[in-house]
Structures are given as structure tokens and as C-alpha cells.
């Protein structure tokens, strides 16, 4: 197959030339032993955009060897923090320069609206690179006094080594940035496996890695099926750490593979079934805006999607009516239409999964008060769907759906609200809306989640840590906390005076 695809951008007709090979040692190459390719589908039209080379397990070995060689020679302990910062800042500048093209590829491959891809996905990712560029020369250890006449110790926060990074399809550029930026800032090298659903932006970013001036092998990109390339990275004996975002099911497999191979360090950002609590003192119009954003942003394909909303009895009817009004204002359509505020879901598999849950909700007796009807024609479009009259045992209430499907329940007391919210195996996000400050403090500390949003929902900042409790994950991304995921602490104990009497 050709190793450069020509991709036509809808509406503008602009043509993008994109290398489609594996990116290893700063070059786009064919597979060493495979002929498989991955078709990239535009979910708004179901048409093939282009095909990219699929890495085999042998290709993963080649990419890991390249990353190891770079770690031992040009990166790792062989490059200063100042230089790492310079390169990260340069990469951020190039991403900013190419923001439109990156967004076009993302909108085509994932389906999300072009404007949102450019302003939020690319914009926040540029910010993420700059944030970690700022950290690159500030990764410092401690000096620890043991005995002030004879001994002290100091710690070094050393790069952990070769990192396998496995990312999903819901925010392909942003998940790339969240993983690549802290790893490079700390001095790690990378084998990046983008999702087979959305590999295009990672290939474009690989071109920018070369242009920014990163040495060969520092970042390698291997599109592949999860069961092939992802599994090979998780089980690889020369990978020191694997960072993953995706389903809890796959996270479990990755952890098992890490345990059974070389006990590599693992960080997991997994699924969720996040609650939003609406108390009677809340500003209802604002709460409805945040609740709608919580479940409908990115067409609900969000690990922190606020997919369970619980409303206090006294305001239930009024709030539900408001929420329906807000949900109806969403404009689901092709991401290249200016008016679109939510695109299709990413793939046929995801579309089918969402519809199986909508059907289950109806069969289990929940009341569908909005949506719940398929659209005719092409494209994986799902309109906002709201269920009421739910019970805790329903599948739509328990399982992560990853689509614009909301379950709405009710409560009478604060205790009941907390109990309902925490009644899940997940613990990623939670929201509460109340104008009672004491209540906000009480409830935010009682909610079992890695992030609690008070009077807002779903906002993330590069300097605020993000991650899950319970079965939503292990470790933290973003903020200074992410640096711990990519460094290993070495304690150097120094004797400058103590004499050892022997035998003891």
C-alpha cells in the first residue's frame, strides 16, 4: 500500500497528505512481517477515509528496541531538562500552527465537531505540552539529613524508562498529549499505540515530532488492534511502564499482563458511571446546563460522563422539564456542519452498544422521556436520550454506556443522595449542585470519586490532577501528580564521616 494518503476534507475540499506507515525511529515504515491495514471510517458518512499500516507483535518489538536505544543514548539521562522543555515548547508551537489540520483529521476520524476539535481538543493539548514543558527542568528530589556531622541522603527522580502508552478514541489528541507530555518532560521514551478507531491524529503528530527536533526513537507510533499491539506492549519485558486509558475490562487485562511479564509500572484511567446530584437550593437553570454538558459533551463518549442524575423531590418535575429543554437544544449532526454541537458516535460497534442499552432501558421498565428513536440514513448518530423511573439494578443505571443516554432518579434527603451516588463500582467523577456551602463541603467529602465538581461539571485543567477511585483506575494524570507516574525515586545515601567498627 501507499505510505502517504491523500485525505479530502469535507466542505472545504482541502487535501491533506498524511503518512500511513508505522512511525519508528523518526521514520514512517512498513510492517516488518505483516500486511494488515486498518480502515479509518468517517462515522458521519460511514465512508473509508484511508487505511493505515497495522503493527504486528514483531513491529512492537522493533519500536520498543528503538525507544530503548534512544533512552540509553540521546534521551533519558542524556538530555537536560532545559532541552526537554525547549523541544516540548517547540512541539506545542507546531501543534498550534497546525491546529486546523489536526482538528480536521480528528473531526473526520472521530466525528466530533470541527470547531470543538480545534478550540478544545487541540487547544487544551497545546496547553498540556506547555504545562509539562514548564516542569521539565523542575523535576527535583530532596536532600535528607541523617546525621548532620557524618551522613545525608538525597533523592533523584529518574525517568522510569520506556513507556508503552495505549490511548482510546474519544479524545485522541488530548489523550496523546496527556500521556506524551509528562513522559517526555520526565525523560522517558515512548511507544504510543493509538486506538484502531482513530489513528490519524497520532500520525500527524508524529510528523511534528520530527519537525520539532526530537531525536529518533524518543516517540514511536504503532497503530494496531488492541488485542495485538496493545496486548504486546502490556506484556513486553522491555517496557518499564504502561499508561492506559480505556475500558475497565481492558485495564484489567493490561494489569494482568504487566504482572505476568516484568511487573512494569501501570497507570489506568478507566470507565465511570458518574453521578450528578441536584439539591433544591441549586440555581436550577445553571444546574441543568451543567447536567446537560455532563452527559452530552462529546456525544456522551466521555469517561466522566455524568450519566446518572439524581434530583431532590421538591424540584424534580421542574428540573427534569428544564433538562429536557436543554437536551433538545443540542444539534447532533455532521461535525463539518457549522451548526453541529455534537457529532455521531465513533463507530458501528459503539453505536450498536448504545442502542442495546437503550433497548434494555425500555425493556427493564424505565420511562424514555426524550430520544430513544433511531434516525434513518447513514452515519452513527444518536440523539440525546433521557430515562426516568429508574431502579438501581437496571443495566442503564449500572453500566458505562458511553453515549448520550442519561438516567434520572430522585431522592429526598442528603443521606439518600450520597448513598445513591456511591452505589457503583466506579469512582471517576461526581457532581453536586447546591447553594448551601456546608452541604457542598459535606457532600463533596462523602462522594467516592477522583474528581468532584461543585456547581459545575466536566471541566478539566492541565494543572489539576485527574484519575479514578474504585474500578475507575489507578494513578493520576495532569498536574504535578502525573510526574510521579513517569519517574522512579532513587535514594543516594552518603557517608562523609561515620567509621564502621567491624565486627558488629
Ligand X SMILES: NC(=O)C1=CN([C@@H]2O[C@H](COP(=O)(O)OP(=O)(O)OC[C@H]3O[C@@H](n4cnc5c(N)ncnc54)[C@H](O)[C@@H]3O)[C@@H](O)[C@H]2O)C=CC1
Q: Which residues bind ligand BAL (CB under 6 A)?
A: 170-171, 245, 302-304
Active-site residue, from 101, 104, 269, 477: 269
Nearer to ligand X, 162 or 270 (CB): 270
| Residue 9 grid coordinates | 476534507
Nearest approach in angstroms of CB 377 to ligand X is 23
- The bridge status of strand 27-29 relative to strand 487-495 is unpaired
Q: Any contact of residue 192 with ligand X (CB under 6 A)?
A: no
The site string for ligand X over 343-372 (x = CB under 6 A, - otherwise) reads -------x--x-------------------
Q: Which stretch binds ligand X (CB under 6 A): 35-43, 110-118, 213-221, 268-276?
A: 268-276
Do the beta carbons of residue 270 and residue 253 sit within 8 Å? no
Q: Which does 304 bind (CB under 5 to 8 A by kind): ligand X, ligand BAL, none?
A: ligand BAL
Looking at beta carbons, which residue is closest to ligand BAL? 303
State how far Cα 76 lies from the chain centre. Answer: 25
Nearer to ligand BAL, 171 or 319 (CB): 171
Tell me how many residues contact ligand X (CB under 6 A).
Answer: 27
Q: What are the residues whose beta carbons fall under 8 Å from the beta carbon of 63, sequence distance 6 or more?
A: 22, 24, 55, 191, 220, 222
Beta bridge partners of residue 162, listed in sequence order:
189
CA distances from 355 to 287, 348, 362 (A): 27, 11, 11
Residue of 231, 323, 386, 405 interacting with ligand X (CB under 6 A): 231
| Residue 434 grid coordinates | 447546591
CA distances from 305 to 6, 125, 160, 399, 459 (A): 35, 20, 32, 12, 11
String of DSSP letters for 155-186: EEEEE--EEEEE--SSSHHHHHHHHHHHHHHH
Whether 280 is a known active-site residue: answer no
Q: Which does 108 bind (CB under 5 to 8 A by kind): ligand X, ligand BAL, none?
A: none
Largest CA distance in the chain: 86
Q: Any contact of residue 196 with ligand X (CB under 6 A)?
A: yes
Q: Which does 231 bind (CB under 5 to 8 A by kind): ligand X, ligand BAL, none?
A: ligand X
Q: Which does 270 bind (CB under 5 to 8 A by kind): ligand BAL, ligand X, none?
A: ligand X
Q: Which stretch binds ligand X (CB under 6 A): 98-106, 109-117, 224-232, 433-441?
A: 224-232
Q: Which of 219, 233, 230 lies closest to 25 in space, CA to CA?
A: 219
Q: Hey, which residues between 371 and 410 contact ligand X (CB under 6 A)?
A: 400, 402
Q: Any contact of residue 6 with ligand X (CB under 6 A)?
A: no
Q: Which of 359, 385, 390 lies closest to 296 in space, CA to CA?
A: 385
Q: Any contact of residue 247 with ligand X (CB under 6 A)?
A: yes
Do the beta carbons of residue 185 and residue 136 sit within 8 Å? yes
Nearer to ligand BAL, 28 or 457 (CB): 457
**Which active-site residues does the annotation give?**
269
Amino acid at each position: 500500500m501507499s505510505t502517504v494518503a491523500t485525505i479530502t476534507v469535507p466542505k472545504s475540499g482541502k487535501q491533506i497528505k498524511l503518512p500511513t506507515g508505522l512511525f519508528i525511529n523518526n521514520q514512517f515504515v512498513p510492517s516488518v512481517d505483516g500486511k494488515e491495514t486498518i480502515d479509518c471510517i468517517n462515522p458521519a458518512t460511514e465512508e473509508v477515509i484511508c487505511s493505515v499500516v497495522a503493527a504486528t507483535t514483531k513491529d512492537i518489538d522493533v519500536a520498543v528496541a528503538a525507544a530503548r536505544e534512544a533512552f540509553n543514548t540521546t534521551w533519558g539521562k542524556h538530555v537536560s531538562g532545559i532541552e526537554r522543555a525547549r523541544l516540548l515548547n517547540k512541539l506545542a508551537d507546531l501543534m498550534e500552527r497546525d491546529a486546523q489540520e489536526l482538528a480536521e483529521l480528528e473531526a473526520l476520524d472521530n466525528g466530533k465537531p470541527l470547531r470543538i476539535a480545534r478550540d478544545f481538543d487541540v487547544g487544551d493539548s497545546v496547553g498540556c505540552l506547555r504545562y509539562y514543558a514548564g516542569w521539565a527542568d523542575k523535576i527535583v528530589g530532596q536532600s535528607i539529613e541523617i546525621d548532620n556531622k557524618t551522613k545525608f541522603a538525597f533523592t533523584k527522580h529518574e525517568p522510569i524508562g520506556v513507556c508503552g502508552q495505549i490511548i482510546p478514541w474519544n479524545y485522541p489528541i488530548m489523550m496523546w498529549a496527556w500521556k506524551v507530555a509528562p513522559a517526555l518532560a520526565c525523560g522517558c521514551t515512548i511507544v504510543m499505540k493509538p486506538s484502531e478507531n482513530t489513528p490519524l491524529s497520532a500520525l500527524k503528530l508524529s510528523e511534528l515530532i520530527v519537525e520539532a527536533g526530537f531525536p529518533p526513537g524518543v516517540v514511536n507510533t504503532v497503530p494496531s488492534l488492541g488485542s495485538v499491539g496493545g496486548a504486546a506492549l502490556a506484556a513486553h519485558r522491555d517496557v518499564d511502564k504502561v499508561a492506559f486509558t480505556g475500558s475497565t475490562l481492558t485495564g484489567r487485562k493490561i494489569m494482568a499482563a504487566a504482572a505476568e511479564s516484568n511487573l512494569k509500572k501501570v497507570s489506568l484511567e478507566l470507565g465511570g458511571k458518574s453521578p450528578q446530584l441536584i439539591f433544591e437550593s441549586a440555581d436550577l437553570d445553571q444546574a441543568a446546563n451543567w447536567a446537560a454538558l455532563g452527559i452530552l459533551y462529546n456525544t456522551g463518549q466521555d469517561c466522566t460522563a455524568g450519566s446518572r442524575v439524581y434530583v431532590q423531590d421538591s424540584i424534580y418535575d421542574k428540573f427534569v422539564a428544564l433538562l429536557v429543554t436543554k437536551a433538545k437544544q443540542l444539534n447532533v449532526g455532521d461535525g463539518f456542519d457549522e451548526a453541529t454541537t455534537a457529532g455521531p458516535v465513533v463507530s458501528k460497534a459503539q453505536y450498536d452498544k448504545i442502542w442495546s442499552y437503550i433497548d434494555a432501558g425500555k425493556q427493564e421498565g424505565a420511562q424514555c422521556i426524550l430520544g430513544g428513536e433511531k434516525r434513518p440514513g447513514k452515519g452513527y448518530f444518536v440523539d440525546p436520550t433521557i430515562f426516568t423511573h429508574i431502579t438501581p439494578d437496571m443495566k442503564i443505571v449500572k453500566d458505562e454506556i458511553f453515549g448520550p443516554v442519561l438516567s434520572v432518579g430522585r431522592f429526598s434527603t442528603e443521606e439518600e443522595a450520597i448513598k445513591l451516588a456511591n452505589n457503583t463500582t466506579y469512582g471517576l467523577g461526581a457532581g453536586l449542585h447546591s447553594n448551601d456551602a456546608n452541604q457542598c463541603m459535606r457532600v463533596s467529602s462523602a462522594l467516592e470519586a477522583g474528581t468532584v465538581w461543585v456547581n459545575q461539571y466536566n471541566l478539566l485543567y492541565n494543572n489539576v490532577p485527574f484519575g479514578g477511585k474504585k474500578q475507575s483506575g489507578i494513578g493520576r494524570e495532569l498536574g504535578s501528580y502525573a510526574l510521579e507516574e513517569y519517574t522512579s525515586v532513587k535514594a543516594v545515601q552518603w557517608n562523609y564521616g561515620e567509621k564502621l567498627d567491624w565486627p558488629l
